[in-house]
Chain A
Amino acid sequence: MIEIKNIVKSFGDKEVLKGVSCILRQGETNLIIGGSGTGKSVLLKCIIGLIKPDEGAILYNDRDFYNSSLEVQQSIRREMGVLFQGGALFDSQTVHQNIQFPLDMLTTMSEADKRERVEFCLQRVGLEGTGKRMPSEISGGMKKRVGIARAIVMNPKYLFCDEPNSGLDPLTAVKIDELIKEITQEYNITTLVITHDMNSVMEIGENIIFLHSGHKLWEGDNQTLMHSDVAELNEFIFANKLLRDLRS
């Protein structure tokens, strides 16, 4: 479980996050949704320790990330797996090397064990036999899968995905969503997905947090989402004509 307590973050005069609090539950796919520029990515970066918030706290199973020693922070980081928006694969390494990278850097596993673990992760994301290919030789969807494989290779307790469906066709997007949900339930981890893709919201949103202008305006699940009386949320959800028609 991750507890986000009153996060405030400003860049110069611009206050991006204005006291966001929420709880990301274990074994569930937690979603942060909202329009562009509402502070979703900044909040994610605050949670994973890339941007230090001006105020507030992030508690990883009661361990306060920003008020912990470097050793505790490092141990929390090793429990994280992050899928970045573009995959963030290392261009100079093959798919196999990309996935093995955290094992090389952070463990003392034997080469055979590492190979076995990488093969397992590749299989888990449905990319068997692609280990020798370079990131430039694979499609966007495959890059996301490799990113997921790299994120889960260390058996993380927390999985973070920044817009996992951006730039993907609807079919691949659904497959990525399903994969994230399966992994969350299979390993009983705390997963946070940043998205503004309504398909994802409806498919995998077990705990949804809606951000608007740096505030948390709404929290619930995909069952209650459609019946919210928050005007900004409805405007966001029903921006799509198809959904508007369905609602009416």
Chain B
Amino acid sequence: MAIIGKYFIFLGTLFTRREKLNVYWRRFMEECVGVGVNSVFIVAIVSTFIGAVSCIQTAYNLVSPLIPVSTVALIVRDMEILELAPTITCIVLAGKVGSNIAGELGTMRITEQVDALEVMGINSASYLVLPKVLAAMFTFPMLVILAAFLGILGGYLAGTLTGVITPRDYVYGIRDSFVPYNIFFMCVKPFVFGFLISTISSYQGYFTKGGALEVGQASTQAVTNSCIAILVADYLLAQLFL
């Protein structure tokens, strides 16, 4: 309970004694590159292959003359939009971005860079963490949209190149029974997950004490806690929105 309390107090400090807006804008843009743009490659690789594997495995399990082949594409689409793109992508991002944030802040803490900011009268938590949180909440939904697109594309490529499904059936399947609300739900998830990953990882890194060993532990803890938070929030969001 004490840790949760400290986490919420930490969140409060992000919004007190703020710096000039142009300072945040510059930092926000830098973080968007670090958190978002630099994650495009890993997100693209993971989501394309997950889409491809989903298509092949779904087709493998749907060997029945009573089920139209286009159902494979429909299932791939809904799996991608509702779960795989937002949740798996964010778990991957928890590993990449979360450990990066915790490692960076932890190193800054143990090398007295955070102290240097504080001595200058700068709210180090707000200056260092707030742009990361905003960047994660801004870029994660875009990465998830990209992941969903590439996942469905990966399914198309795997399905059609292996002859599991024809291009016509696949396109028919992904357009069949489409619910636009699911896209909204897909975008809400990374918005929440981005907040959780960035704040939990920042918290772990910001309060690191010790040396290199503790920075490593903080990174590991950041990823573990972020993943748990994502899974719990995933369930709660599903209950709330569906």
The chain A residues found within 8 Å of chain B, CB to CB, are 45, 48-50, 70, 73-74, 77-78, 80, 82, 84-86, 88-91, 101-102, 104-106
The answer on a CB contact under 8 Å between A78 and B115 is no
What is the chain A residue whose CB lies nearest that of B116?
A: A88
87-130 of chain B: CB within 8 A of chain A: 107-108, 111-113, 115-116, 118-122
- Is B212 located at the chain interface by the 8 A CB criterion? no
Which of A77, A85, A90, A104 is close to B119, meaning CB atoms less than 8 Å apart? A77
B124 to chain A minimum Cβ distance, whole angstroms, is 11
List chain B residues, Cβ under 8 A from A84.
Answer: 112, 115-116
The chain B residues found within 8 Å of chain A, CB to CB, are 17, 19, 23, 107-108, 111-113, 115-116, 118-122
A105-B23 contact in complex given A86-B112, A88-B113, C-beta closer than 8 Å: yes
Which of B111, B112, B113, B121 is close to A77, meaning CB atoms less than 8 Å apart? B121
25 contacts between A and B (CB under 8 A): A45-B115, A49-B118, A73-B121, A74-B121, A77-B120, A78-B120, A78-B121, A80-B119, A82-B119, A84-B115, A86-B111, A86-B112, A88-B111, A88-B112, A88-B113, A89-B113, A90-B113, A91-B108, A91-B113, A102-B120, A104-B23, A105-B19, A105-B120, A106-B120, A106-B121
List chain A residues, Cβ under 8 A from B115.
Answer: 45, 50, 84, 88
List chain B residues, Cβ under 8 A from A91.
Answer: 107-108, 113
List 19 additional contacts besides A105-B120, A106-B121; criterion CB under 8 Å: A48-B119, A49-B119, A50-B118, A50-B119, A77-B120, A77-B121, A82-B116, A82-B119, A88-B111, A88-B116, A89-B113, A90-B108, A90-B113, A91-B108, A104-B23, A105-B19, A105-B23, A105-B122, A106-B120
List chain B residues, Cβ under 8 A from A89.
Answer: 113
Count chain B CB atoms within 10 A of each CB in A88, A90, A91, A106 and give the residue with the most: A88
CA–CA, A219 to B119, complex, Å? 27
